[in-house]
Structure 1
Amino acid sequence: MYSILLTEDDQATAMMAEEVLRARGCSVRWAPNAAETRACLEKQRYDALILDLGLPDENGFDLLRALSHQYPSLPILVMTNLDDAASAIKSFRHGATDYLAKPVTPDILFDGLVTTIRRKVEVWNLQENERQRQRYSDLGQLASSFAHEVRNPLASIRTLCELLNHDLQPGPQTECVERLQKLTMRIESLMRVFLDFSRPSVPAPKILDVKSLILRSMESLEGRLRTSGTSPACSIPSGGLTVYADETQAVSILVGLLENALDAVKDPTRIRIEAAPGGTLQGRTMTHLRISDDGPGIPSHLLAKIFSPFFSTKPKGTGIGLAIAHRLALENQGSLVATSIPQQETCFLLSLPREAPRAQGAVNGR
C-alpha cells in the first residue's frame, strides 16, 4: 500500500509500529537514528516518514527542518513523547505534515499516516498548480511580446514578395519568391498560435450538464468523426453529473483531448469517455472526466513534458494544444493529469468542480 520509513530509537515502539503498518499492507524500513534515516532517503523514495524527535545522534527538530527542506514533497508524521502545544507548533513550523503524541493506538497511527500522506499530496498539488499558473503567465507575456515584434517585419516581407511577383518574369526567381511567401505564411500561422496561448482568459463559470458538454465537444469534431461514421464510447452515470466551469473553455479542453486521442488511434471506437464523481480538491467536490485510448502511448520520459508549451512529439505539432487545455483546467479551479502504459492505455483525467463554491457565510454557518 505505502512505503514507509520509520525513524524511532526505541526498538519496542518501532516493532509495534512496524507490525501495525505491515498488517495494513505497508512496507516499512526501520531507521534507529538520524544518520541511517538520511542514508535511507538518499537510496530510496518513500511515501512517508514517521519521525521520532528524541534521537541519539541529532536533535529531532533540526533533522525535521533539514529533511523538510531537502525533500519538500515527502509527508512527515512526527510521533513523539513530547505531548505539549509548544512542541507541536514547533514541529509544524519546522516542516511536519502532522503530529501525534505517544502512546498511540494502531488505528490512530494508521489513520494519522493516511491523513499525512493525503494532506501533503493536496498541498503539493496546490503549490505545483500555482507555480504552473505563474509559468503560463510568464510564457504568455513572452509569446505576446515576441509575436508583436515579429508581426511588422513579416508584413513588410509579405508586401515586398508581392511587389517582386508583380515585377518578375516567370522563372526560378519567382519560384523562390513563392517559397518565401509560403514560409512567411507558416511563420504567421505560428504567431497566431502563440497569441492564442498568450491571450488572457477569465472564466465565466456556471453549472453545466456533463452529458451535454461531451455531446457539444463531439459535435465540434463532427468533420473528423463523420469520415469514419463512428464515435467514441461514452459512460456517464444514469443520474447525471454536473461541473461548475466556463462552458466554452470546458468544451475547448475536451475537444483538445479528443483531438489528441484521434491523432493517436485514428479510429474513434478506440477512444473511451467516462464521467464519474471525484474526490475533493481545495476543499471542493470534483467531477472526473476520463478520456482514454489504446494507442501507442507516451514514453515515461516524455510524460512529464506533455503539458509544457511548445513541446510536441508530432512531426507537424505546435505543442500548444495540451498546454492550453492544462492551463484552462487550472483557471477553472480544476486539474488535468496524464498517465500512459505504451501499447495499452493512455489516459487524460480532467477534474472540475461539481458545484459552485459556497458563500463564506454558509461555510461559517451564518
Structure 2
Amino acid sequence: MRSIVGALSLPALIALCAALSALTFAGLSLGFSTAPGWRSLRWYALAAVLSAMFTVGDAITTLAVPGHWYAWFARFNMFLAGLHGACWFFFDAAQRGRKLARWERAVVGVALVAALTNLIPGLTVTDRIVAREVSWLSLTYRDVIPTHLGGAVSIYYVLALAVLGVRTIRDPGPGGRAQGVALLFLAATALHDTVVFSFALAAPYLLSLGFLAVIVGVGVSVVARFVQNARALETALRALRDTREVLVRQERLAALGEMSAMVAHEVRNPLAVMFNVLATVRRGPLDEQQSMLLKIIDEEARRLQRLVTDLLDFSRPGALRRSRVEVLALVATAVDAARAGVADLSPMPALTQTVPPDLAWEHVDAELCRRALINLIDNALRAPRCRAVRVSAADDGDALSLRVSDDGEGIDEALREKVFAPFYSSRPAGTGLGLAIVRNVALAHEGSVTYSETEGGGATFTLRIPRATAPEA
C-alpha cells in the first residue's frame, strides 16, 4: 500500500480523495432520496458519481502511463464534464418542483450533444501530448492538445455553469445561495485551468478541487436542510401527539361529564325528599340525641347537595352565553357567594378585592365565569392556615386576568399537576371538582387557568379569558 501511495503524485492523491468524498456524498444522497419530497437528490447523486469519475481521470495527467491513455482519458473527461453540467440543471429544476424551462432545455441539449462529440477520436482532442513542468511542486503534467471545437466545448461548459450559478444566487431555490456559489467556484477553477493551459503557466490544475468543492458544498447544504426538515417533522409530530392527548382528554372529560350529569340528576330528587322529611321531623318534639342525629343527617345531606351542584357545574359548560360583563360586579357577586358558602369557617380569613371600577369585558359567559371565580375563592378560603385572600382583576391587553391569591400553605410540588384533575382533593370533605370546573370554564373560553406560588407563601390561581370577537350570527 505504501509503494502505491508513494507512486502517486500530490494532484493524484487529491483527486483520489475527492473521488472518495464524492462517492460518499452520492451514497448518502441516494439514501435520502428515498424519503418523500427528496427524489431530486438522485440528480445530485448522479452528479457526484460523474464528479468522482472525472477526478480519477484527471489524475492520469500526472502519472506515468502509456501515451494513448492521456488522449483517451481527456476525451472521456470532456464527455463526463458535459453530463455533469447537465445534471446540475436537472437537479436545480427538480428541487424547485418544475420541469426545465425552454432556455434550460436548449442549454442542456447543446451540452449533451457536445458531450457526445468528445467520444469521437480527433474531433475535440488531438493525439499530441505536451509536457508542462511545475518545478516548485516537482510535478509534470502531460497535457493533450484540444482542437478548436474542443476549446469551444470547454468554454461552453464553463459559461453554462456560470449562468446557472448566477441564476441560483439571484433566485435561490431550496438549496439556497450556497449551491450557486459552489457552481461559480467550479466554473472559476475550470477557467483557471484554461488560462494555465493556454499560457503554459507553472501552476497546478485546480479543477479536481472545484469538483470536490461543489459536491461537498451542495452536499453539506443538502444534509443541513435534511436535518432541519427532520427537526421540523419531529416538532410537528410532538405537536400532533400533544393535540391527540388533548383530544383524548377532552373525550374522557366529555364522557365523565355525561356520567356526572346523569348521577347528579338521579341524586337530586331523593335529596329534595330528604330535606322535606327533615323539615317535617324538626317540627315535632325532639330530645337532645334526636336533634344531634338530625343535625348530622342535615350536614351530610348538604354535603351531598354540594357534590350534586359541583357535578352539574362540571358537566354543564355547553354553549357559551356571551355578553358584556362589568368585571367589578362579577367579582363582587362571586365574593359574596363564596363568603356565604364558608360561613361556618372560624376564623374567617380576611378577603379583599382589587378591581378597576371601569373594567369590562366583551363576549364572556358571565355565569360560568362567576362559578369559576366562586370555586377559586372557596378553594383559597379553605386553604390550611390561610389568614388572607386577595381577589384581583386586570386587563392584560389580550386577555382578562382574574387572580385569586391566599397566604396558606400552598401546594406541594409533587401534587401541582393533579390539582385540576376531576375528583382530586387534598381535603377529606372536598369533592375534587372545584378546580376541574374552573379549568372547564377556561377551556370553554379558549383561555387558561394556572397555578403559581404566592410571594411569601401560599397559592395563586390565575384565570385568563382571552379577548374574543363577536360570534357569528
Tell me the TM-score normalized by structure 1: 0.51
1:25-44 maps to which residues of 2 (within 5 A)?
none
Say which one has the larger Rg.
2
Asked whether 1:262 is paired with 2:381, we answer yes
Alignment match, 1:350:
463
Q: What is the identity, as a one-letter code, of the residue corresponding to 2:235?
A: A
1:136-147 maps to which residues of 2 (within 5 A)?
136-147=253-264
Alignment match, 2:250:
133
Alignment match, 2:19:
none
Asked whether 1:251 is paired with 2:364, we answer no
1:17-32 maps to which residues of 2 (within 5 A)?
none
1:301-320 maps to which residues of 2 (within 5 A)?
301-320=414-433
User: 1:243–1:355: 8 Å Cα contact kept in structure 2?
Assistant: yes
Asked whether 1:296 is paired with 2:395, we answer no
In structure 1, how many angstroms separate the alpha carbons of the residues matched to 2:405 and 2:296?
Answer: 41
Alignment match, 2:116:
none
Alignment match, 2:315:
198
In structure 1, how many angstroms separate the alpha carbons of the residues matched to 2:227 and 2:453?
Answer: 44
Higher relative contact order (CA 8 A, sep 6+): 1
Tell me the TM-score normalized by structure 2: 0.41
Cα distance, 1:262 vs structure 2: 1.6
Alignment match, 1:96:
235
CA shift in 2, pair 1:87/1:190, >3 Å: closer
Q: What is the identity, as a one-letter code, of the residue corresponding to 2:221?
A: N
Alignment match, 1:32:
none
Q: Which runs of 5+ in 1 are unaligned?
A: 1-54, 63-79, 99-119, 279-284, 360-366
More strand, by proportion = 1
1:190-229 maps to which residues of 2 (within 5 A)?
190-221=307-338, 223=340
User: 2:453–2:459: 8 Å Cα contact kept in structure 1?
Assistant: yes
SS at 2:319 equivalent: coil
CA shift in 2, pair 1:342/1:132, >3 Å: farther
In structure 1, how many angstroms separate the alpha carbons of the residues matched to 2:301 and 2:391?
Answer: 39
In structure 2, how many angstroms separate the alpha carbons of the residues matched to 1:212 and 1:157?
Answer: 35
CA shift in 2, pair 1:212/1:81, >3 Å: farther
User: 2:325–2:361: 8 Å Cα contact kept in structure 1?
Assistant: yes
Asked whether 1:337 is paired with 2:463, we answer no
Q: Which runs of 5+ in 2 are unaligned?
A: 1-27, 36-219
Q: What is the identity, as a one-letter code, of the residue corresponding to 2:394?
A: A
In structure 1, how many angstroms separate the alpha carbons of the residues matched to 2:349 and 2:272?
Answer: 42
Cα distance, 1:126 vs structure 2: 6.5
Q: Equivalent pairs: percent with the same residue? A: 26
More helix, by proportion = 2
Cα distance, 1:199 vs structure 2: 3.4
Aligned residues: 255
Q: What is the identity, as a one-letter code, of the residue corresponding to 2:390?
A: I
In structure 1, how many angstroms separate the alpha carbons of the residues matched to 2:414 and 2:452?
Answer: 12
User: 2:410–2:459: 8 Å Cα contact kept in structure 1?
Assistant: yes
Alignment match, 1:82:
222
